[in-house]
Amino acid sequence: MELQRGRRKHQRRKQEHYRCGECSTAHCKISYWYIFRNKKLKLPPGPRGLPLIGNLLSLEPNLHVYFANLAEVYGPIVKLQVGSKIFLVVSSTSLTKEVLKDNDAIFANRDAPVAALVASYGGVDIGWSASNSEWRKLRKVFSHEMLSNKSLDLSYGLRRDEMRKTVSDIHRRRIDTPINFGEEVFIIILNMIMGMLWGGTLQAEERSKVGAEFQKVIGELVKLIGRTNVSDVFPALKIFDIQGIEREAKVLCLWLDRIMDSVIDQRVKLNDTDQTCQSKDSKKDFLQLLLELMEQKDPKTQITKTQLKALYLDIVVAGTETTSTTIEWVMTEMMQHPEIMERVQAEIDQVVGTNNTVDESHLSKLHYLDAVVKETFRLHPVAPLLIPHSPSSPCEIGGYIIPKGATVFCNAWAMQRDPESWNESNDPLTFQPERFLDDGDVKKFDYNGKNFSYLPFGSGRRICAGIPLVERMLTYVLASLLHSFDWELPRDTKLDVAETFGIALKKSTPLVVIPTPRIVNLELYM
């Protein structure tokens, strides 16, 4: 009897402790028994679906807009039944804070689509992996070793050389010629990333050829990950691969895998003959660093070849898509607001000068350009619904139960346009970089996910790990292109600002612009 009374007392204390909001992570895991007994807790509201398929047929192409419209009807947390999956969409800053901060550990897992699992070698990367010890180790290696300030400073020469080659090429061959701006920027970012990944291993011509092929394959792979797949919403049908998405993803990833194996083997052979280690530039790329970690016996940092390749794909796919898409949106907004472009160029001229080239050391002084970039991220977040989270156990959010294994979206696109958070008098739907300059608290609008009304890179332990690299590349490329050239639309061309939902929120119509030189000193184009 004493033992039973003790157990009941302990259970009551756990429940009371949970309700007071001061519990540990372990106590936050609500048992199904607790859900059953507490009738106040229930699933969130949402539109009624059809038998078996639920709300699948009612989903609209631009999910971020569709989910925002549902939130106006059903409230800040909405439930949809999509096939056999439960989708939950959170559209308020307070509830997003509950998900990504208060219950961060519970929501740290992912619900990866089939194509993403193929592209991440079964989910052993940073983006799609479950929250476990191997994920923590890989993220630590990525953040502390590869993207440390020291490592990024050492690899700056690779980014600078690529940027100068691009400026020279545009000036020599493409002045007064219409350019697909997004495509051009994608190649710049891809070449920068490839230079940092395996710098001296590939020669310039070979890297350019591999880069062009990478661009095509990555584009097709991203489309596959973003497509609605029957295998994702009806996991029991996965073995049939009805739409062939898994097969297509495997073919693409097999090509990428062969390229990476070839590059890794080539570097290992060079290391064996001490050629790479003697090279001045060998310490500046990430491949040498990761190979050294592979050879180490320290379980805290040692990684496998599969993890190395999965990490490489994360960097290439996420880095190129997010950065090039955002740069295209920045240029689109500046073409729509020429006075903003003039102010940005005037700031760059003042900081850099007209007889000098842009250097990464200048970036911290380009405050207005930084505000323009942040405003672009606000109106056009690259991942409008962030990467979906999946709770490891049932959890209470906003008085509702979030079932274990549900797919949880945080609608950053909607929250970053919310008048309550973004001062209704300044119209949150208009492009106003000044809103990031007027606030006295500069850190309030950084990318670290502490302000839940501004989450372009997410928040919590699954926040984007590549922020330091994206910040450097994005601003550096923009500043260089705006310093070197003026840009205008082709005659009789109307600017299109429509967007298309996907893994990245891209422009529906590519931005085509014409560059003209704006620097008198022609030597700066050499």
Feature table: binding site for heme? 464
CA distance 304 to 290: 9
Picking from 184, 149, 178, the residue whose alpha carbon sits closest to that of residue 165 is 184
CB 80 within 8 A of CB 368: no
In the beta sheet, which residues pair with residue 516?
Answer: 486
| Measured distance CA(246)–CA(28) in Å, rounded | 36
Nearest to 76 by CA among 90, 93, 94, 88: 90
- What are the angstrom distances between the C-alpha of 397 and each of 42, 101, 109, 320? 10, 12, 16, 35
DSSP string of 59-97, one letter each residue: --SSHHHHHHHHHHHH-SEEEEEETTEEEEEE-SHHHHH
CA distances from 73 to 398, 415, 454, 462, 501 (A): 17, 16, 23, 30, 22
E runs forming strands in 340-403: 389-390, 395-397, 400-402
The b/e string for 417-433 (b: 16+ C-beta within 10 A; e otherwise) is: bbeebbeeeeebeebbb
Binding site members? 464
Helix then strand count (H, E) for the chain reads 19, 12
Cα–Cα dist 393/106, whole Å: 7
